[in-house]
Structure 1
Amino acid sequence: MVRSSFVEVLGLRIYVREAGAGKPVLLLHGLGVSGRYFVPLASVLAARRQVIVPDLPGWGRSERPSRPLGLGGAADVLGELLRRRGRGAVSIVANSFGCQVALMLAQRRPELVGPLTLVGPTVDPRYRSWSVHAARLALDTLREPPALWRILFADYARMGSRRLAATAQAALEDRPEDRVASIRQPILVVRGERDAICTSQWAAECASRAQRGSFRPVAKAAHAAHFSHPLVVASLVESFLEEGPDRLGELEG
């Protein structure tokens, strides 16, 4: 059963969903969409773990700061949320833009971050233009389950076009291809085989650039594989977290 509450972090009210008990894992949403689309995965993982699903400030039900936080601000809020919980390094499962936030946090505050699962990480360094990403987003949306459309459109409207555009620009200007190589935590890259936003080339490259990286595809899934195929993604996450650091580091396609 998913529980929800508001907590204050760095002067901002953050909406947080929680479920389960045990070792914690945090699920981090992407651009525009709130943590709602992580509930299917959270419900599966909660059978064995404590699952934490925040809405970053400006997203979903969380407070809207006067200005968009950008990657750095989002990482700072997330880091403070984890620090206050005092549970040590926490594993993170992130999607899309959330992968960029998670990588920045791991670089800035490595003591707070455990193994990272990056589902459809952005941004492919070969495609840093508004027009390309708009077209890819439109195509990917058509490949997602209709149930996700309702969440996407409602959350995009709540975030607002100006805040959405400013955050998207920050994402396009970021260079995760450089940052991922500096991360010491084990990294699992997961990509839906029908993902129109994260290319197969970039997903494999992201894993290969990591010091301890691995790559797993999800058949028939698009960008939000955790939503459309929660049982498959949960199995990949559990296997990854149970492998242990000494067995990580292979790049598998």
Structure 2
Amino acid sequence: MTALLSADVEALGLTGRIYWADGTPAPSAAPATATPPTPTSSHGSASSGPAYILIHGIGVSHRYLARLHAVLGAGSPTYSLDLPGFAGTPKPGRRLQVEDYGAFIAEALVSCGIESYILVGHSMGVQFAIEAALHAPERADRVVLMGPVVDAKHKNLWRQSVALGLDGLLRESPSSNWLVISDYLRCGPRWYLTELPVMMQYPTHARLAGITVPVLILRGSRDHVAGPEWCLRLSRTVPQGRLVEIPGVGHVAQHMRPKAVADAIRSFVSATARHR
């Protein structure tokens, strides 16, 4: 077992946190005394190339992406983010729109010397990834959208809540539920409820249409938060869109099947290597 190093990162008046492992180049703005707070799996030296940037969803943190981080990071530079207001980072003084998070991600990464990357977002992190790609299209090499929200079948809060609740009860493991619930507590209900309407109102399909690089839509085959019809529709929204399902898992596929998810991402990256 190794540990993720971390450093606070500031951009546009907001503060978040970036994580990386030994063998991955440290962000250029990171202090020499960066701390290792979070355990993850063993990790080899990372190769050069576009970095993977892992982006969490509403209320949670990098922790439920840690298994995927470890697998991807064994072969490529990989970084995870805790976004402003989540995971104990300072709460912004106002409600943030998805565009604000996207701009923060893009500007924070360039401030860390990370100028070419593959954005990998989960759940509401899908929305953040789309906006980061739109904010700095010259830096986003590809986009991976896991369990994208909000499904057209769940466009009201009740339906979205039921889908998420059933997924937690019926599809997820105790460890994934613990990570999600404990992160919700760290986030706190005030900020979660502040940002929830932003997630619900974001036009995922319309904004995705502006992406010009290859896009992978990835879902667990038992994920009712991001259903098959919705994900297929998103994959057909962009000229270079693909859809992959991970068998037998629900919404938090990257925690339940990190190797399968990583393999799907790597295959997508390899297959689209000559897109430019």
Does the 8 A contact of 1:12 with 1:57 survive in 2? yes
Give the secondary structure class of the aligned counterpart of 1:177: helix
Deviations 1:10-39 (A, max 9, x none): 333322111233331100001111111110
Give the secondary structure class of the aligned counterpart of 1:111: coil
Alignment partner of 1:208 out of 236, 239, 245: 236
Moved more, 158-167 or 47-56: 158-167
Partner of 2:89: 62
TM-score, length-normalised on structure 2?
0.85
CA–CA separation in structure 2 for the residues paired with 1:34 and 1:68? 18
CA–CA separation in structure 1 for the residues paired with 2:68 and 2:15? 24
Deviation at 1:77, TM superposition (A): 0.9
Alignment partner of 1:16 out of 12, 15, 18: 18
Partner of 2:165: 138
Deviation at 1:246, TM superposition (A): 4.8
Deviation at 1:236, TM superposition (A): 0.7
Give the secondary structure class of the aligned counterpart of 1:215: strand
In the alignment, structure 1 residue 184 sits paired with structure 2 residue 249: no
Does the 8 A contact of 1:58 with 1:159 survive in 2? yes
Deviating beyond 3 angstroms after TM superposition, the runs of 4 or more aligned structure 1 residues are 245-248
Describe how 1:26-37 pairs up with structure 2 within 5 A.
Answer: 26-37=53-64
Bigger share in helix: 1
Does the 8 A contact of 1:95 with 1:118 survive in 2? yes
CA–CA separation in structure 2 for the residues paired with 1:13 and 1:177? 28
Partner of 1:251: none
Give the secondary structure class of the aligned counterpart of 1:99: helix
Alignment partner of 1:45 out of 56, 72, 79: 72
Deviations 1:179-219 (A, max 9, x none): 11221010001110111200110011100111210000000
In the alignment, structure 1 residue 4 sits paired with structure 2 residue 6: yes
CA–CA separation in structure 2 for the residues paired with 1:235 and 1:135? 30
Does the 8 A contact of 1:182 with 1:211 survive in 2? no
Does the 8 A contact of 2:53 with 2:80 survive in 1? yes
* Structure 1, unaligned runs of 5 or more: 249-253
Deviation at 1:70, TM superposition (A): 2.4
Deviation at 1:89, TM superposition (A): 2.7
Give the secondary structure class of the aligned counterpart of 1:209: coil
In the alignment, structure 1 residue 115 sits paired with structure 2 residue 115: no
Number of residues of Structure 1 aligned to a counterpart in Structure 2: 248
Deviations 1:132-179 (A, max 9, x none): 011111001111111011111111112122211221111111111111
Partner of 2:269: 241
Deviation at 1:220, TM superposition (A): 0.8
Does the 8 A contact of 1:193 with 1:218 survive in 2? yes
* Structure 2, unaligned runs of 5 or more: 25-45
Partner of 2:40: none
